[in-house]
Chain A
Amino acid sequence: MFHETAFTDVRCDRALDDASAGFLMDEETFRAFYERTARGLWAYLARLTGDRQLAEDLLQETFYRFLRAAATYENETHRRNSLYRIATNLARDVRRRSLARAAAIPTGDDIERVPSGADAGATERTADVTRAMSRLKPRERAMLWLAYAEGASHQEIAQVLGLSPTSLKPLLFRARRKLADLLGRAPRGGKP
């Protein structure tokens, strides 16, 4: 399950209202949901795209599409999965358009830049992770981030990325090995 899900489930089944431009979610519920999810989602998008500004633009677009989807959600996890699925699809579309235009794909340099005064050791380790992750495929980055930064279950990751849960396991396994190699895993014996 995703982090920060311990709060009351609120079903968003309000009637259509002209004042809220046809959104099923009211402002108060939206703002509370946004406060809980925006930073994590921004980090996910920044990791997928390697571009802070693009991550912010996609964040706003994701929340807009989420509001316009006018769907009802069974619980917070379901709602959050939908949000991440929209974000993943948007990031994928941006990447496809960039490839079609033969534009440079961000390498993650942008999100490596840090403000002065930050913890140098932590920053260096984050930069290592950024560099290593930028060498993975976008889908590998997404599944690793969802699994180990967001704490999502296999079922949830499969749902967000549009994969079958059975095919996720080997893909996640390979992505994990690849990243471990890139991060310089210590040589070891043991199983498997």
Chain B
Amino acid sequence: MKPFDCEMESEVLAAVLQDRWPARVDASLREHVAACAICADVVLIAGAIDEAREEMRARAVVPDSGRVWWLAQMRARREAAQAAGRPITAVQVIALACAMGLLGACFGATSAWFQSALRSGAASLGAIRFQALLPFAAAFVAQHGALFLGMAAILLVVPAAVYLTLLRE
């Protein structure tokens, strides 16, 4: 099996990162690096990357630690307030729904017009013989099958497309 690392690799890396390579290391280590492709790559790459790191760190302009702390605090508080506000909104929605339901029940119980309309609606619904309508419905669907399929596809595809568009945005 092809070796992926060398037992001397960490020693070579330490020498490069501690600026001991090549002058302040044992001759045996230098000889090893001259013969080992893995360690030679480590010397090349670690040296190049370490130099790039030092230069980048020197050029780095990072925000002040106090400012980062203050901004983080502000943001955490804002998010905490938003999170605390969310259950209140949900409770408000539920309360509104309950109030509407209660109002509807009161209206239904007290309005004579509503009660008579409800009674006549129930009576006419009971008079309809749904079983007798089934053959007509089946014939209609068989005749306009493509239309039904198209409508079903639209009903499925349009919400999915809207969802995906909103998700991308």
Contact = CB atoms under 8 A, between A and B. Distances in A.
Interface of A: 3, 20-23, 27, 30-31, 34-35, 38-40, 42-43, 46-47, 56, 59-60, 63-64, 67-68, 100, 111, 114-115, 118-119, 122-123, 125-126, 128-130, 144-145, 147-151, 169-170, 172-173, 176-177, 179-180, 183, 185, 188, 190-192
Contacts of B51: 122, 125-126, 129
B62 interface: yes
A90 B49 CA distance: 22
7 contacts: A22-B76, A42-B62, A56-B62, A148-B13, A176-B38, A176-B45, A180-B44
B120 interface: no
Interface string B88-126: 000000000000000000000000000000000000000
Chain A interface, >50% SS class: helix
B9 to A, nearest CB: 10
Interface of B: 2-5, 13, 17, 34-38, 40-42, 44-46, 48-53, 55-57, 59-63, 65-66, 68-69, 71-77, 80, 168
Contacts, number: 142
Q: Which of B34, B40, B62 has the most CB of A within 10 A?
A: B62
